[in-house]
Structure 1
Amino acid sequence: MQTLSILNLIIAVLWLVSATIDTAGHTYFWQLKWYRIDRFKDFLSTKQGQSYVLSYPVFWRGLLAIALLYFLHHETLLLKYSIISFFVIDIIRLGYLYIHKQLRRPQPSIKALLILTISLAVEAIWLLFTHNWDILLLVLIVRPFLIGGVVIVINEITNLIKKIYFIRAEKKLKKYQNLKIIGITGSYGKTTVKEFLSSILGEKFCVIYTPKNINSDIGISKFILQTDFSKAHIFIVEIGAYNTGDVQLVCDIVHPSIGILTAINEQHLSLFGSMEKIQSAKYELLRAIPKNGLAITNSDNEYCREFLDEIKAKVATFGIEKKYGPTCEIEDLTDGKHQVLSVDILLQHGEKSLIHFHPKTTGRHNALNIAPCILVADFLGMSKEEIITAVNNVSDPKTAIHSYSYGKATIVDDSYNSNPQGFKAALDVLAAYPSARKRVVITRGMLELGDRSEELHEEIAGEISFVADELVIITPDFIEPLKKGIAPRFKKIVVSVKTNPEELLSYIQSLKETDVVILLENRVPSIIHQELDKYKTNSTA
């Protein structure tokens, strides 16, 4: 009897250690996908997600647990010794992962802690009430599903709490009748346009804008409740969307009088399901602008210009293509050490004016990010001279593509996120460096492109062929389409795969004292940022 009690205690302690670390690992993946069912489902369809499904904690351990249940169901003592062995092996495995810095843990947050605590509590209560060790093996089999269920329940509860925040945020903003609210949405360019616009308008007005990547309904609402708008003239809101209705919900809270739709492409196609749904979601901003407001969008983009005749507000457009008659036509952008941006704009008072700017930005693509800001500044009464001065002071935001020295090498950092147009723009920046320097592209590919993913990765690989000498792929998801799209007949390019973060770090370190330009496209492991952050400067390399 005493032996059984000791065994029970050992099993309980081992279970607690193993279950805590294991549940934290599962929670890490949910947090990575913002605890959203749609994003997690999309993750499971990728090679990285399939690797997760076939991993030891999800598949193989469950299979072993089923085998133990089947063969040792009636052998209580032998079953307990087997369970102890099971957990010891589990803890040894986790220790190995910890030593090699491969143990996955979520970022500390109330939601992550709740999921961890509730999941462990459910398992503990289940075991205590049944007094059946078979249940412990069953728990190991169903744990991933149990955690998913806890996430769903917590999401439902937080949705109710969110509504309270939405009501309070809307009520607070209504107190500031003179506050001009500007909404920005689009498949890409939102954050950069927000940063440029806040800089330009900040030359004349007191501007408040949502910080960093806060663009969700709850993030925006919390920011509103924490912010003093008493001295502000303008509030700029970046609005993200993963489903139809997301943009409309934010518009119902903030009631923007000016809206900017930057562009529409296949970004998040796997979540929306179709381009029509993406278009409908992004258009929610322009449709929400009142008659006395201003709706601004990209006339070069077919999805942006399609339904402009249905917008009740005044419409202003920007673009390069003259045939679409943009209000702000980008005539030219010479890219080099000193950029010159020339735009032909129809100003509010009816004057057609060709204006030359000298922004301190990187990349020709930024013309399309600056142009809508010029339209807003004109609409809000800034003079031509004030706009010129403000645009000339614009520089690259931290989240935008930027470059810096890393020893003798140059890093072109576009690791904030990625989409087809953004990737091409980054390649344009890379191509501007002398061809005598070795050019390397390091990327994980582009996420959430749905059924167009393979096609778009093949296309971008073709673009890489013209620009780069080497392509390094750092996740398994898009290896095949990227390799398939490489065009060796135009240029010999070395393609390598480095999915291990430490191997990738060693490779980058090996390039430090060579004359090379390295493009980081889309997110890279944190140890890479830890290495490179030591060399970042405010100046462009």
Structure 2
Amino acid sequence: MYSSTITGLILLACVSPFLTLATLWQKKEWRIDRLKEHMRSKGWLRQTFGIIRPVIVIASIASSRINLPLSGLVIGLYLLAGMSLLQIITRRQRVPVWTMKAVVLCCTSLFINILLIQSEFIAHISYFLPPYFSVLLPILQFIPLTLSWILLLPIDIALKQHIMKKASVLRSSHKNLTVIGITGSVGKTTTKELIAHILKEKNVLSTPAYVNSEMGVAKWILKELPKHSKDKDLILIIEMGAYRMGEIENLCSLTKPSIGVITYIGTQHIALFGSQEKLQKAKRELFTALPENGHALFNADCEPCKSVARNLLCKTTPVSASTVDSNDSSNGIRFNIKGQQYSIPLHGIHNVTNVLLAIEVAKLLGLQSESIAKSLTTFSPPHSTFAVRSQNGITLLDDTHNASPESFQAAITWAASQPMHNKILLTPGLIEQGVAEDKIHTELGSQANGVFSRVIFTGKHGRDAFAKGYTGTVEQYTRHTVPVTNGDLLVCIGRVSPTIIKHIV
């Protein structure tokens, strides 16, 4: 067994790499498939072990063979513990959101770490790797965290089934609900907010930001529906996300939608689905779950959407932005339908489809064109979803809620139409695009030619592939990156940290 001092040093050395991995995994919703895809795209070795820590470990093991006043392994432990302490003191250490699941997983992992350090089992292992274990454990934190996840998985599954069943029973007890299910590779959040805004005079509940998974929606139902009488007429607007086939089907089984909306089907998360065919089948689950007296609305300008809308038992309504003469001005998008003028403070011609879908849903629920048009004039776009604002004299397009190849292309097209002389692109690149990821980034780089005078990547992911298509220099963001200047246009696409944006502007 190790002394209490050495044990403390090992545990302190483990803190930073453990918290970093736990934070990353939580961002991937504790899903092993999403974590694996992230590791694949970002690089297994660097994501798992880092760069500096493995160097310290190797140097410590090598120096332990030299006769020094202080063991090289102990020196290594002090260095690794010092790195953890420095990360914490300087507040640079990323930490998970302390939900119950995160707390339980982290506490279980801590217990496993202590067990690994002190148990007789390790004493036997150390016969083969005598003194090296002490410095190896800090860079092997994926082991205790994965063990914790595996140990708690049966409990997690049982709790999920219990919550889903409880939410399903509660939803079924409300007989006067009209449920609108919305899915799509892009545009579902904006469409959800548009529908909710138009129907605001009715009794409407809509899922909040980032709540579109089975568990997220189930917990939201358990929180919100008890506030309303079971006989009350309510409209529920449910955003439905998915990473695998069957997940939208489960959401539909829970919520029982009578109106389904598919905004667009692209390649978002294709690496997790496995193929475009499986992705389309997953989106179709919403339409096949609708009753015969239900209604399916879809983007007729998107071939995959048209494909999944075929051979349905319910009524279908296609919408096409190509049939509408629209324009995007400084005040937002405008178009006319059968003499009715629509003016929406929302940018991006691609958003015309989302507005058209929202209009058709509102008409299904009895609203008139004039009333719909009036409501849309006061719409505010969702935070960080193709939202345009002025900041420190700079025009900023904030599309950091999420990103896909289609939304990236839309942002480039919109930027090209703007009058600013200097246009700067700030992005972390795209993730979960599978084997086509490099090709997609190269194509986006080509489209950015002649539009952006500067391109800044916040990380290395996708940067080199983008640079193959972009004729200019692709910068790597650092704290020394030159900020944009007054009068410039800054286009932020993907999960860009607010801290980085603040520094850039």
User: Scaled by the length of structure 1, what TM-score is found?
Assistant: 0.84
Match 2:425 to one of 441, 444, 449? 441
Would the alpha carbon gap of residues 371 and 142 (structure 1) be closer, same or farther in structure 2, given more than 3 Å must change?
A: same
Residue 337, structure 1, aligned to residue 330, structure 2: yes
Give SS of 1:411's match: strand
Give the Cα separation in 2 of the matches to 1:143 and 1:407.
43
- Measured after TM superposition, the shift of residue 38 of structure 1 is 1.0
Residue identity in the other structure for 1:446: L
Give the Cα separation in 1 of the matches to 2:209 and 2:354.
17
Match 2:160 to one of 144, 158, 162? 162
Q: Is the 8 A contact 1:244 1:277 kept in 2?
A: yes
Residue 211, structure 1, aligned to residue 201, structure 2: no
Superposed, 1:169-248 pairs within 5 Å as 169-203=167-201, 205-227=202-224, 228-230=227-229, 231=232, 233-248=234-249
Q: Which residue of 1 aligns with 2:436?
A: 452
Q: Is the 8 A contact 1:214 1:220 kept in 2?
A: yes
Q: Is the 8 A contact 2:7 2:117 kept in 1?
A: no
Q: Which residue of 1 aligns with 2:102?
A: 112
Give the Cα separation in 2 of the matches to 1:318 and 1:155.
43
Superposed, 1:410-489 pairs within 5 Å as 410-435=395-420, 437-486=421-470, 488=471
Q: Is the 8 A contact 2:300 2:318 kept in 1?
A: yes
Q: Any unmatched runs of 5+ in structure 1?
A: 322-329, 345-352, 536-541
Residue 403, structure 1, aligned to residue 388, structure 2: yes
Give SS of 2:444's match: helix
Residues 288-326 of structure 1: CA distance to partner in whole angstroms, max 9, x if unpaired? Answer: 0101011111111111111423211110111134xxxxx
- Measured after TM superposition, the shift of residue 414 of structure 1 is 1.2
Q: Is the 8 A contact 1:333 1:339 kept in 2?
A: no
Would the alpha carbon gap of residues 140 and 341 (structure 1) be closer, same or farther in structure 2, given more than 3 Å must change?
A: closer
Give the Cα separation in 1 of the matches to 2:88 and 2:419.
43
Give SS of 1:466's match: coil
Match 1:45 to one of 34, 40, 45? 40
Give SS of 1:476's match: coil
- Measured after TM superposition, the shift of residue 56 of structure 1 is 4.4
- Measured after TM superposition, the shift of residue 173 of structure 1 is 1.1
Would the alpha carbon gap of residues 364 and 461 (structure 1) be closer, same or farther in structure 2, given more than 3 Å must change?
A: same
Residue identity in the other structure for 2:5: I
Match 1:8 to one of 3, 7, 21? 3
Give the Cα separation in 1 of the matches to 2:182 and 2:240.
6
Give SS of 1:223's match: helix
- Measured after TM superposition, the shift of residue 465 of structure 1 is 0.8
Residue identity in the other structure for 2:325: D
Superposed, 1:93-112 pairs within 5 Å as 93-98=83-88, 101-112=91-102
Match 1:358 to one of 334, 343, 350? 343
Residues 217-262 of structure 1: CA distance to partner in whole angstroms, max 9, x if unpaired? Answer: 1111111011123355200000100000110011110000001011
Match 2:30 to one of 31, 35, 44? 35
- Measured after TM superposition, the shift of residue 210 of structure 1 is 0.5
Residue identity in the other structure for 1:283: R
Residue identity in the other structure for 1:305: K
Residue identity in the other structure for 2:228: F
- Measured after TM superposition, the shift of residue 427 of structure 1 is 1.9
Give the Cα separation in 2 of the matches to 1:127 and 1:266.
45
Give the Cα separation in 2 of the matches to 1:464 and 1:476.
18
Give the Cα separation in 2 of the matches to 1:467 and 1:113.
46
Would the alpha carbon gap of residues 59 and 157 (structure 1) be closer, same or farther in structure 2, given more than 3 Å must change?
A: farther
Q: Is the 8 A contact 1:208 1:232 kept in 2?
A: no
Residue identity in the other structure for 2:193: E
Give the Cα separation in 2 of the matches to 1:26 and 1:274.
28
Q: Is the 8 A contact 2:60 2:72 kept in 1?
A: no
Residue identity in the other structure for 1:270: A
Residues 410-451 of structure 1: CA distance to partner in whole angstroms, max 9, x if unpaired? Answer: 22211111111111221233223214x211111111111111
- Measured after TM superposition, the shift of residue 164 of structure 1 is 0.6
Superposed, 1:52-67 pairs within 5 Å as 52-56=47-51, 59-60=54-55, 63=58
Would the alpha carbon gap of residues 53 and 124 (structure 1) be closer, same or farther in structure 2, given more than 3 Å must change?
A: closer
The farther-off stretch of 134-143 and 335-344 is: 134-143
Residue identity in the other structure for 1:123: N
Give SS of 2:418's match: coil
Residue 263, structure 1, aligned to residue 264, structure 2: yes
Q: Is the 8 A contact 1:469 1:494 kept in 2?
A: no
- Measured after TM superposition, the shift of residue 142 of structure 1 is 4.3
Q: Is the 8 A contact 1:430 1:519 kept in 2?
A: yes
Give the Cα separation in 1 of the matches to 2:210 and 2:164.
19
Give the Cα separation in 2 of the matches to 1:216 and 1:188.
16
Give the Cα separation in 2 of the matches to 1:45 and 1:105.
22
Would the alpha carbon gap of residues 62 and 316 (structure 1) be closer, same or farther in structure 2, given more than 3 Å must change?
A: farther
Q: Which residue of 2 aligns with 1:496?
A: 475
- Supply the RMSD in Å over aligned alpha carbons: 2.7
Q: Which residue of 2 aligns with 1:538?
A: none
- Measured after TM superposition, the shift of residue 494 of structure 1 is 4.1
Give SS of 1:358's match: strand
Would the alpha carbon gap of residues 278 and 58 (structure 1) be closer, same or farther in structure 2, given more than 3 Å must change?
A: farther
Give the Cα separation in 2 of the matches to 1:340 and 1:61.
56
- Measured after TM superposition, the shift of residue 103 of structure 1 is 2.6
Q: Is the 8 A contact 2:15 2:84 kept in 1?
A: no
Superposed, 1:273-312 pairs within 5 Å as 273-312=274-313
Paired-residue identity, %? 27
Give the Cα separation in 1 of the matches to 2:137 and 2:427.
38
- Measured after TM superposition, the shift of residue 464 of structure 1 is 1.0
- Measured after TM superposition, the shift of residue 463 of structure 1 is 1.5
Would the alpha carbon gap of residues 483 and 223 (structure 1) be closer, same or farther in structure 2, given more than 3 Å must change?
A: same
Give SS of 2:74's match: helix
User: Scaled by the length of structure 2, what TM-score is found?
Assistant: 0.90
Match 1:88 to one of 67, 71, 78? 78
Give SS of 2:492's match: strand
Residues 99-147 of structure 1: CA distance to partner in whole angstroms, max 9, x if unpaired? Answer: 6654332232222222221112112223333173745456456432232
Give the Cα separation in 2 of the matches to 1:438 and 1:209.
39
Q: Is the 8 A contact 1:209 1:237 kept in 2?
A: yes
Aligned pair count reads 493
Would the alpha carbon gap of residues 525 and 383 (structure 1) be closer, same or farther in structure 2, given more than 3 Å must change?
A: closer
Give the Cα separation in 2 of the matches to 1:475 and 1:245.
33
Q: Is the 8 A contact 2:14 2:141 kept in 1?
A: no
Q: Is the 8 A contact 2:284 2:309 kept in 1?
A: no
